[in-house]
Amino acid sequence: MKSRAFGIALISIAFVACGGAYAQQQVIGAPPEASNMKLVGYNDLQARSAYQPTIHHQGDRYIAYIGHHGGTDEIPDPVNPLTGKAEPNGTSIVDVTDPAHPKYLHHIPGQEGKYEGGGAQMVRVCDGKSLPKGDPNAVYLLRAVGSQGHEIWNVADPANPVLVTKIGENLKDTHKNFWECDTGIAYLVSGAPDWRTRRMTQIYDLSDPAHPQKIRDFGLPGQEPGSTGAVPTELHGMISTGPQGNRVYFGYGTDKGGIMQIVDRDKLLNGPKEPTAQNLRYPEISEMAMSAFNGAHTTFPMKDMPIAEFANDKDGKTRDIVMLVDEAILNECGEPRQMVWFADVTTETRPMMISSWTVPEASGHFCERGGRFGSHSSNESMAPVYYKKMAFIAFFNAGVRALDIRDPYHPKEVGYFIPSITAATDKRCVPVDGAQRCKVAIQTNNVETDDRGYIYIVDRANTGMHILELTGAARKAAGLP
C-alpha cells in the first residue's frame, strides 16, 4: 500500500513537472480561449508583425491605423495583395466601421529592415479641424518610420494617403510618440544623434502639420550631449494631459530600472531649452524609481478617481492614479515578471505604488507555451466608455486581459481572450545548449478601444488583428447594455 501511494505521488510529480505544460501549447484549429470576451471580427493585417493600433472616428466611419515592426528573416517584405508588390512593413489602414467585417484599405510601406530594425511601429491620428492651424479637410497620421525619423500623412481618404512631411533624420531610434490633437504639441520618441541614449524626447509644435516647428529636446540629466558618468534608463513613451491637466507622464525603461517622471507641461514647453542638466530638471515635479526588475512601457494617467472605500473619509476621497505597464522582452519567462502597477500620484512629489496585477502563470502554464509571457501595454483611449472603469492589458501569450480598475487599490480581472494561432503565426525561439528551440504561440502586443466599446488587439507574431467585445460579468462591470 505504501509503495502504491509512493507511486501515485511520483506520477503526480511527473505530471506537474512535464505533463500539464505541454498540454497547453496552442495548435492550429483550436478555438480561442476566452472568458467574458468574444470575437466580433478579424483581419490578418497581411501577416505583418503589429505594434500600435489607433482607432479613429473619422466622419461617419471608424478607421483602424496599425503600426508594424519590420519583417521577419523568412519574409522580410510581405506581399501586399492590394498592389501585388512586396512591401516593407509600415502602416495598415483598415475600415472597422462594421467591426464584424473589417475591410483592409491600404498599406503605407515603412522602413526596410527586420523586426525592430524596420517598419513603422507607432501611429497617432488627429483631425485637421481640431489642430489650431491644420487643414480642416485633412486627417493627419503621425508615424515613426523605422529607427530613423517620423512622417506625417494626410489620410482624409484613408484608401489613398498622401505624404505631408518628414521630421527628423539619422536618428538612433524612434518609438511611442504622443500627439495632443487640440494643441498640436507632439512628443516624439527619438534618438538624437548627439544624445547619449537611444531614446529621448523631441518636442515639436505640429499645430500646422505641414510646417513642423521644433520646440526642444528633453530627457533625464545624464542623457544630454556632453554629459559624463552613468546614463539613466532610456525613454519608452509618454502621455500628456494637455494644457488643462498641465502634466506629462514619462515612462523610462522597458523591462528594467523603470522610472515614472511627472513633468509640468507648461514649464517643459516654455522653460529654458538648452539641454543642460539644470534645464532638464527644471520642469520635473517628481520621479518615481521602480524596481530594477521592471520597466515603464505605458504610463496611463487617471485623475480624480473616486475610491469607494474612501467615500466617508474627510480628505482623500478621490485619488490621482497612474497605471504603469511593463514590457516583457524575453521568451519563455527568461526575466523577472513584467506586469501592471498602479501608482497613487495624488501627492505628486511623493508618488507611491499601491497595487499590482499579473496573469497567474499556472492558469495557462504560460512559461511553457512559447514566446513572451508578461505585460506589454494597455489601451490608451480616454473615451468615457471604459476610462477609469476598465483597462485592457496586452499580455503576449496570455492574450488580452480585461481588468476592473474602479478600485485601483484592488484591480480585478473580469475577462480575457487568447486568440487562436493560424498558419501565419510566427515561431518564437530560445537558445538551449547552443541550438534554437522554437514554439508557436499568440503574442498579443498592443490593444486599443474605440468609443463604441470595441476592443482591438494586434499580434506581434503576425497573427493579425482581432476585434472583441465584452460579454457577461465584464460587460456589466463596464456598465454596457
Partner 1 sequence: MRGLLIACGVMLCTLSGVAAVQHVRSGPSTAGSNWHEIAWPFPRDGWPAGRAFRCDASACGGEVELYVRPKIGFCNCDTGVADDDEVDRVADLDLMSRRFVPRETGKVIRISDMAGRARSYDLKMTDGSDHTAVGFALSHRCDLMVAVAQGEGTAEGVRRAAVEFLDTSDMTHWMSSALNGG
The site for partner 1 (CB under 8 A) is made up of 7, 10-11, 13-14, 17-18, 113-117, 172, 195-198, 228-231, 234, 256-257, 292-293, 329-330, 334-335, 430-434
For partner 1, give the closer residue by CB, 157 or 194.
194
| Residue among 1, 22, 4, 11 at smallest CA distance from 367 | 22
For partner 1, give the closer residue by CB, 330 or 480.
330
Identity (one letter) of the amino acid at 95?
D
For partner 1, give the closer residue by CB, 367 or 430.
430
For partner 1, give the closer residue by CB, 11 or 28.
11
- Write down the least CB distance from residue 191 to partner 1, Å: 10
- Write down the least CB distance from residue 203 to partner 1, Å: 21
Identity (one letter) of the amino acid at 382?
M
Three-state DSSP string of 204-245: EECCCCCCCEEEEEECCCCCCCCCCCCCCCCEEEEEECHHHH
**Residue located via cell numbers 499645430:** 207
| Residue among 115, 204, 206, 123 at smallest CA distance from 380 | 123
The grid cell for 282 is 527644471
The contacts of residue 397 (CB under 8 Å, 6+ apart) are 364, 366, 369, 370, 371, 372, 373, 418, 441, 442, 443, 444
Scanning 342-436, the segments in alpha helix (DSSP H) are 366-369
- Write down the least CB distance from residue 115 to partner 1, Å: 6
- Write down the least CB distance from residue 95 to partner 1, Å: 34
For partner 1, give the closer residue by CB, 22 or 100.
22
CB atoms within 10 A of CB 436: 9
- Write down the least CB distance from residue 335 to partner 1, Å: 7
For partner 1, give the closer residue by CB, 197 or 299.
197
In angstroms, the CA 459 to CA 480 distance is: 26
- Write down the least CB distance from residue 172 to partner 1, Å: 8
- Write down the least CB distance from residue 68 to partner 1, Å: 16
**Cβ proximity of 472 and 36 under 8 Å:** yes
For partner 1, give the closer residue by CB, 294 or 449.
294
Q: Please, what is the end-to-end C-alpha distance for the chain in angstroms?
A: 58
- Write down the least CB distance from residue 425 to partner 1, Å: 21
For partner 1, give the closer residue by CB, 27 or 432.
432
Phi (first) and psi of residue 186, to 5 degrees: -120, 135
Max CA distance (Å), the chain: 85
